């Protein structure tokens, strides 16, 4: 019959689907093994206070070094982790690893830095994140003030009440909360006054075209204005050039990250930079 012929369109489609599902299952399986075998690791991207030029902290960004496929970007495997539930052990590993690393650095004299981690909305809606974070902070003996959690605004659109409860718990502990990729979701701004947020991060897509698209420059300026009106700090991500930096500084943006300062770095390279070059904006040195 035509349907049993592997060249028949329907049969071809079924085979492709099955292959896709097999591929997805394989990725899930590999990721589970990778988490257990230690194939994940963290890079650290410096965060700079734009007024003083000083290094104030870093964002921990996860990488997966697959035994056969090499390094895989989080944009590829975080969605798989989210849809499979693996984000729960992965998220906990990221937190524990960066807290452990922070304690090592603090003992080596790198005090006063704050580390940010990215938290998936799936974590917020499927576990008690405040309890999980509290347990890891106790275990690693890191003060809560040294930790910040980044979350995208979609989490508040989905279930604001549930999200609020979770983040109130974090704030009571002393952990800071910031809104990542701000301006890319479709949420109303009203949640800002109901939630324990301390900073907004301007999405890099706005920063990247700040010098070529006047509407992006206006957007950045507007976000800085909104943040300051609400008593929040603003962090710009994706600062790649001196022009990006100059504009954001002139508009009063508080903090920045981006290739202009440093790419996400291996732990050793981050430490070297932090010790040798605690000021990252040249004219402030």
> Does residue 101 bind ligand C2E (CB under 6 A)?
no
Q: Which of residues 138-197 bind ligand C2E (CB under 6 A)?
A: 150, 180-181
Contacted by 234, from Mg ion, ligand C2E, none: CB < 5 to 8 Å by type: none
The candidate with the shortest Cα–Cα distance to 101, out of 135, 146, 50, is: 146
94 binds ligand C2E (CB under 6 A): yes
Residue 30 engages Mg ion in binding (rule: CB under 5 A): no
Q: Which does 192 bind (CB under 5 to 8 A by kind): ligand C2E, Mg ion, none?
A: none
**Cα separation, 111 vs 2, whole angstroms:** 70
DSSP codes joined into one string, 147-187: EEEEEETHHHHHHHHHHHHHHHHHHHHT-EEEEEEETSS--
Q: How far is the CB of 285 from Mg ion (least distance, A)?
A: 27
Residue 118 binds Mg ion (CB under 5 A): yes
Q: Which of 34, 183, 238, 256 binds ligand C2E (CB under 6 A)?
A: 238
**155 exposed, middle or buried (CB, 10 Å; 0-12, 13-18, 19+)?**
buried
Distance CA 176, CA 96 (A): 17
If the CB atoms of residues 130 and 235 are measured against Mg ion, the closer one turns out to be 235
Q: Does 153 interact with Mg ion (rule: CB under 5 A)?
A: no
- CA–CA gap between residue 63 and residue 263 (Å, rounded): 14
Looking at the Cβ atoms of 181 and 233, the one nearer to ligand C2E is 181
């Amino acid at each position: 019959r035509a349907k049993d012929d592997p060249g028949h369109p329907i049969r071809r489609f079924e085979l492709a689907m099955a292959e896709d599902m097999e591929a997805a299952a394989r990725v899930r399986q590999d990721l589970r093994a990778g988490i257990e075998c230690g194939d994940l690791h963290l890079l650290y991207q410096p965060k700079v206070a734009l007024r003083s030029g000083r290094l104030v902290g870093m964002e921990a960004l996860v990488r997966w070094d697959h035994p056969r496929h090499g390094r895989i970007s989080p944009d590829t495997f975080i969605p798989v982790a989210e849809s499979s539930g693996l984000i729960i052990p992965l998220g906990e590993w990221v937190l524990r690893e960066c807290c452990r690393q922070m304690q090592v650095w603090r003992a080596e004299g790198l005090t006063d830095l704050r580390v940010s981690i990215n938290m998936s909305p799936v974590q917020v809606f499927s576990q008690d994140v405040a309890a999980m974070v509290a347990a890891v902070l106790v275990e690693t003996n890191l003060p809560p003030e040294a930790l910040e959690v980044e979350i995208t605004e979609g989490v508040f659109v989905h279930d604001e009440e549930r999200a609020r409860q979770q983040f109130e718990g974090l704030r009571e502990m002393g952990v800071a909360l910031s809104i990542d990729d701000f301006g890319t979701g479709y949420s109303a701004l009203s949640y800002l006054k109901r939630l324990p947020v301390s900073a907004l991060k301007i999405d890099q897509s706005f920063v990247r075209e700040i010098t070529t698209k006047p509407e992006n420059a206006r957007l950045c300026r507007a976000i800085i204005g909104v943040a300051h009106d609400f008593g929040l700090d603003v962090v710009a991500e994706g600062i790649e050039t001196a022009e990006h930096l100059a504009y954001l500084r002139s508009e009063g943006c508080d903090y920045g990250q981006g290739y202009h300062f440093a790419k996400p770095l291996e732990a050793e390279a981050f430490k070297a930079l932090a010790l040798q070059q605690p000021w990252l904006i040249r004219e402030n040195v």
